[in-house]
Amino acid sequence: MSQSNSDDSSAANDAQAVGVGQDDVQKNIVWHTHTVSREDRETKLGQRGVVVWFTGLSGCGKSTIANELDRLLIDRGATCTLLDGDNVRHGLCAPPSVLQEEHGEEFAGRFGLGFGPIDREENIRRIGAVTELFASAGVITLAAFVSPYQRDRDRVRKTIESSGRSGDFLEVFVDTPLEICKQRDPKGLYQKAIAGEIKNFTGISDPYDVPPSPEIHLKWREGQTPHDQAWEIIRAMENRGVLGPAKG
């Protein structure tokens, strides 16, 4: 009987120890300093690693402008990359339905992301972490996401600037009126949202926090092209000293 109690006690202690290790893994995670610094990478590339974060309603033109800016930057010799909201939802931030077949229901339910408030928060957290990695490597990183909640965008800003310097995060508010976005409706999403077929749709059944002080405010104007707007961003980046002259 005594031996049994002792074994039970030992097993309980072992289980508790395992639990502590699982619940507090942060104590076992230690930052590994790289031999090659961010400054080394930026010097090699001849540019500053920054994040240009496009936010705005669905259909406002974020992806189109970001694609045009990407092309203009590449043409002038910059090293850059583009992360788009829809594209990322096919992999890193895939919904449960995409993950279930390969990983199973439990995995899909735990890691798949929908469009409710908490899922949107995690979506932007993941993207923020990825953009920080790119920026730390000296890459000009363009991110086009509705990112409707100001607190989430502020968290990404804090992540980017904490690992780099103030000014490494440029918030671009693509300020296109909701009525114009509804008229465009390139994917037919507004029509579905208004009909109640899509829940948590920003601007219809879910709120959008207008940026109070974006670094770049692209106000919609009749006749203005995505090319014009992309050049407006380049000029703003040059004026802020985060983009040097064209190479070559």
Q: Which among 58, 147, 163, 213 is annotated as catalytic?
A: 147
What value, to the nearest 5°, has the Cα angle with vertex 181 and ends 85 and 227? 70
If phi over 0 gives left and psi between -120 and 50 gives alpha, with beta otherwise, what is residue 183?
A: alpha
**Cβ–Cβ under 8 Å, residues 154 and 195:** no
Residues 6+ apart with CB under 8 A from 127: 83, 88, 92, 93, 143, 145, 156
Catalytic annotation present for 205: no
Rounded Cα distance, 170 and 192, in Å: 32
Contact assessment for residue 226 and residue 64, using Cβ atoms and an 8 Å cutoff: yes
User: Where in the sequence numbering do the catalytic residues fall?
Assistant: 147
